[in-house]
């Protein structure tokens, strides 16, 4: 079950609105992940690396622990049948950023470049 209680309150509200808006538009939408502990992130990262090592094309990316917005309660993963262009439009309409087809389930508080900049400013990367 997705940990939504440990999301930043604004991200939690935006995620709820994202799912509601997608459903109102006739799409299936379900939050599958919210906040992740560093340990949970490490498990996902290992699964991602194993998937890549096997040469599978459908590997969903997972950042190293401490580098994911999920570790800070700033992102959710949503499974939906909405087309990518609708995902982006709806995400922006509720104040989230859609990661795009490289990570088709990820919706965060920041774009990748903004997040990377914040991590650099904090001395994390």
Q: Which CATH architecture has domain 9-36+70-121?
A: 2-Layer Sandwich (3.30)
Question: What distance in Å separates the CA atoms of residue 109 and residue 73, rounded to the nearest whole number?
Answer: 9
Domains of the chain by residue range: 9-36+70-121
How much is the pTM?
0.92
Task: Give Cα 98 distance to the centre of its chain.
Answer: 8
Pull the structure tokens for residue 81.
Answer: 């049948």
Is 1 a residue whose pLDDT tops 90? Answer: no
Alpha-helical runs (H) found in the chain: 9-24, 38-53, 84-93, 112-121
Return the number of other C-beta atoms located less than 10 Å from residue 2's C-beta.
16
Question: What distance in Å separates the CA atoms of residue 62 and residue 75, rounded to the nearest whole number?
Answer: 12
Contact by Cβ (8 Å): 38, 118: no
pLDDT band (50, 70, 90) for residue 3: confident
For 84-111, what is the mean pLDDT? 96
pLDDT tens digits for range 19-69: 999 999 999 999 999 999 999 999 999 999 999 999 998 899 999 999 999
Largest CA distance in the chain: 43
Is 2 a residue whose pLDDT tops 90? Answer: no
The pLDDT value recorded for residue 39 is 97
The pLDDT value recorded for residue 57 is 86
Mean pLDDT over the full length of the chain: 95
């Amino acid at each position: 079950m997705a940990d939504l209680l440990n999301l930043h309150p604004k991200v939690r509200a935006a995620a709820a609105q994202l799912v509601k808006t997608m459903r109102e538009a006739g799409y299936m939408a379900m939050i599958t992940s919210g906040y992740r502990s560093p340990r949970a992130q490490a498990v996902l990262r290992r699964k991602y690396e194993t998937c890549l090592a096997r040469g599978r094309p459908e590997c969903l990316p997972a950042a190293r622990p401490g580098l994911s917005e999920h570790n800070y309660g700033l992102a959710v993963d949503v499974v939906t049948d909405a087309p990518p262009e609708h995902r982006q439009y709806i995400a922006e309409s509720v104040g989230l950023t859609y990661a795009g087809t490289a990570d088709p389930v990820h919706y965060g508080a920041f774009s990748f470049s903004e997040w990377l900049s914040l991590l650099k400013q904090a001395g994390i990367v």
